[in-house]
């Protein structure tokens, strides 16, 4: 099995490639990453959340997952000195993402 794998890897390194093959390969990698992140989120969702009910303001609670990630990304850019316990947003549950955003927003409000 190891010999077959080594031969396949050697052939792959010398195989000619095209933009179409590169796009398809990148799409496969993205699909794999998204699927693994989805499975991880599903697994984390089964565990109890550390989010305290009512601790997250309604405006944040109403945001979609992508909007929360977008806002957190903007905060990282605007405030590079801010430290977050977890930057792998794709693996976090929606509740944990909202909690992180609430914490970040609250810290910024207290800093002003």
Average pLDDT over residues 99-111: 83
CA distances from 40 to 11, 57, 96 (A): 33, 26, 13
Average pLDDT over residues 87-111: 81
Count of helix runs (H) and strand runs (E) in the chain = 5, 0
> How much is the pLDDT for 31?
92
Closest Cα to residue 104, out of 30, 34, 7, 79? 79
pTM for this model (two decimals): 0.51
**Is the pLDDT confidence value at 95 over 90?**
no
> How much is the pLDDT for 41?
83
The token duo for 86 is: 């977890």
Q: How confident is the model at residue 49 (pLDDT cuts 50, 70, 90)?
A: low
> How much is the pLDDT for 1?
80
**pLDDT tens for each residue of 51-91:** 555 578 899 999 999 999 899 889 888 888 777 666 667 77
**Burial (CB count within 10 angstroms: exposed 0-12, middle 13-18, buried 19+), residue 95:** middle
**pLDDT tens for each residue of 11-40:** 878 888 888 888 888 898 899 999 998 898
């Amino acid at each position: 099995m190891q010999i077959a794998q080594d031969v396949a890897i050697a052939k792959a390194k010398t195989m000619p490639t095209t933009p179409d093959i590169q796009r398809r390969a990148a799409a496969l990698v993205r699909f794999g990453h998204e699927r693994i992140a989805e499975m991880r989120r599903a697994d984390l969702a089964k565990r109890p959340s550390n989010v305290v009910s009512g601790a997250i303001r309604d405006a944040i609670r109403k945001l979609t997952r992508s909007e929360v990630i977008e806002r957190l990304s903007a905060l990282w850019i605007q405030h590079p000195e801010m430290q977050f316990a977890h930057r792998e947003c794709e693996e976090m549950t929606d509740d944990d993402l909202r909690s992180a955003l609430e914490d970040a927003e609250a810290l910024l409000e207290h800093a002003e």
